[in-house]
């Protein structure tokens, strides 16, 4: 699960390591996500410690789910010199198309940013440990768009730059089934707050 919409001043901004709050709309998105998730049973819950993730989890953990385990390595990627810049500012100040941000991380092209290799090195041990500790169980991870893309790249053995074509919206759910014979992407970028009729959100 990606966190819900952040406060307005950080929207369309490379927030990364900035520890921002949710917007009022984001809190409503989090409630819709929680209502949908309560239809399912989870054996364990892991999360980034950043505020936007913790606030997204709040309505979900209030109703008797497993106690979340916060893992620092699930925090969002650090965008270095791009941190705090709006997408249009990246193009004008850095001369780089902001839509190519994953390519830039992959070639270590952003000053002081965490490279794709460094992000993978941070996340792969976490993912391996979680999977080893929960065979055959259903696990929920609350984290960030960049983190979800890298986790998918690891699980599906795809170049992370190709995942720039994959949208990971606010308060979205992506589901991956992991078998001994391989991995299956079952659900991608499902947003209960947008994709479900309002009358069904809390059924």
pLDDT single digits (tens) 75-122: 999 999 999 999 999 999 999 999 999 999 999 999 999 999 999 999
Domains of the chain, each with CATH number or no CATH:
8-200 (3.40.50.1240)
Average of per-residue pLDDT values in the chain = 94
What gap in Å lies between CA 194 and CA 86, rounded to an integer? 25
Residue 163 near residue 149 (C-beta atoms within 8 A): yes
The structure's pTM equals 0.94
CB 79 within 8 A of CB 113: yes
Q: Strands of 139-142's sheet, edge to edge?
A: 69-70, 44-47, 139-142
Percent of the chain residues topping a pLDDT of 70: 97
DSSP state, 167?
-
Instruction: Transcribe 34-91 into DSSP letters.
Output: HHHHTTS--SEEEE--SHHHHHHHHHHHTTSPPPPEE-GGGSPPP-GGGTT-BHHHHH
């Amino acid at each position: 699960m990606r966190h819900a919409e952040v406060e307005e001043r950080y929207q369309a901004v490379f927030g990364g390591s900035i520890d921002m709050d949710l917007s009022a709309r984001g809190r409503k998105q989090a409630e819709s996500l929680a209502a949908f998730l309560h239809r399912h049973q989870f054996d364990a819950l892991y999360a980034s410690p950043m505020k936007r993730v913790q606030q997204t989890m709040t309505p979900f953990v209030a109703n008797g789910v497993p106690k979340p385990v916060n893992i620092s390595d699930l925090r969002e990627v650090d965008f270095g010199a791009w941190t705090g810049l709006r997408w249009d500012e990246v193009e004008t100040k850095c001369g780089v198309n902001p839509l190519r941000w994953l390519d830039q991380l992959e070639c270590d092209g952003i000053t002081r940013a965490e490279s794709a290799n460094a992000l993978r090195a941070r996340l792969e041990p976490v993912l391996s440990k979680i999977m080893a500790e929960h065979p055959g169980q259903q696990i929920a991870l609350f984290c960030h768009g960049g983190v979800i893309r890298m986790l998918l790249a690891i699980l599906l053995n795809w170049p992370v730059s190709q995942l720039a074509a994959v949208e990971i919206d606010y308060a979205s759910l992506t589901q991956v089934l992991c078998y001994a014979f391989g991995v299956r992407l079952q659900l991608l970028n499902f947003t209960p707050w947008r994709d479900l009729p309002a009358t069904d959100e809390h059924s």
